[in-house]
């Protein structure tokens, strides 16, 4: 089915960093990378009730998401954003990112 493709990326901040540092890094990431990528419809920075964070990105399609993920691999702006995050040694290659395909819209 056609429709948006969504990715939810959990964020664990490095020790000593707070929400202000996250917002600053996220704003820079948006300006230098995400905001320039064709196919990104919207991006939300989220805080869970337990104080953890996530980046929720809406893409026009799975193909658009795949292109952006590929571009992230060589982006200095992405590396700068990821520097504030704690990456567990046993993290999977997908870093715990969840991906969702559109099934149905209710309005």
CATH architecture of 5-88+97-101: 2-Layer Sandwich (3.30)
What local confidence, expressed as pLDDT, does residue 95 receive? 67
Reading phi first (left if > 0) and then psi (alpha if -120 to 50, else beta), residue 94 is in alpha
> Can you tell me the distance from the alpha carbon of 24 to that of 40, in angstroms, rounded to the nearest whole number?
20
Cβ burial of 63 (10 Å; 0-12, 13-18, 19+) is exposed
What local confidence, expressed as pLDDT, does residue 26 receive? 97
User: In which residue are the tokens 């997908």 written?
Assistant: 94
Could you list the pLDDT tens digit for every one of the 107 residues in the chain?
567 999 999 999 999 999 999 999 999 999 999 999 999 999 999 999 998 999 999 999 999 999 999 999 999 999 999 999 987 666 555 667 899 998 888 98
What local confidence, expressed as pLDDT, does residue 45 receive? 97
> Can you tell me the distance from the alpha carbon of 3 to that of 60, in angstroms, rounded to the nearest whole number?
7
What local confidence, expressed as pLDDT, does residue 107 receive? 87
Reading phi first (left if > 0) and then psi (alpha if -120 to 50, else beta), residue 51 is in left
What local confidence, expressed as pLDDT, does residue 3 receive? 73
What local confidence, expressed as pLDDT, does residue 5 receive? 96
> Can you tell me the distance from the alpha carbon of 33 to that of 30, in angstroms, rounded to the nearest whole number?
6
Question: How much is the pTM?
Answer: 0.87
> Can you tell me the distance from the alpha carbon of 59 to that of 38, in angstroms, rounded to the nearest whole number?
9
């Amino acid at each position: 089915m056609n429709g948006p493709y969504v990715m939810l990326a959990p964020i664990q901040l490095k020790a000593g960093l707070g929400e202000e540092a996250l917002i600053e890094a996220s704003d820079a990431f948006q300006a230098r990378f995400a905001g320039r990528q064709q196919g990104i419809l919207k991006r939300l920075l989220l805080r869970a009730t337990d104080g953890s964070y996530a980046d929720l990105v809406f893409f026009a399609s799975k193909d658009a998401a795949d292109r952006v993920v590929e571009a992230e691999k060589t982006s200095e702006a992405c590396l700068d954003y990821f520097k504030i995050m704690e990456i567990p040694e046993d993290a999977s290659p997908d870093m715990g990112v969840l991906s969702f395909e559109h099934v149905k819209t209710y309005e």
